[in-house]
Amino acid sequence: MDTAGSRARDRRIEIRATAEDRQLIDRAVAASGTDLTGFVLTHLRLAAQQVLADREEFRLDPEALEAWERINQRPARSLKGLRALMDRPSPFQE
């Protein structure tokens, strides 16, 4: 897997932080045994992946996948209100 540390770092990211935030981050960097850049990139990448996860991938464990497949194999229900809505003319067409 390509990690943040294995590629050439050719772009800057600059942020502003409070003194308290910086002290906390510096303590975490020291505790992790890495440098500030590696620490920040690793955790920013993880945060970005978590934010985008449900927009790019859909992962289920085997039991949840089986339940999902059962639900999707059921025939569609006819919903009276939805049918009436879909039969109405679009307000966006002239």
Domains of the chain by residue range:
4-87
Cβ atoms of 25 and 39 closer than 8 Å: yes
Residues 20-39 have pLDDT tens digits of: 999 999 999 999 999 999 99
Share of the chain above pLDDT 70, in %: 94
DSSP alpha helix (H) spans, the chain: 19-32, 36-56, 62-73, 80-87
pLDDT of the residue at 1 = 45
Judge if pTM exceeds 0.85. no
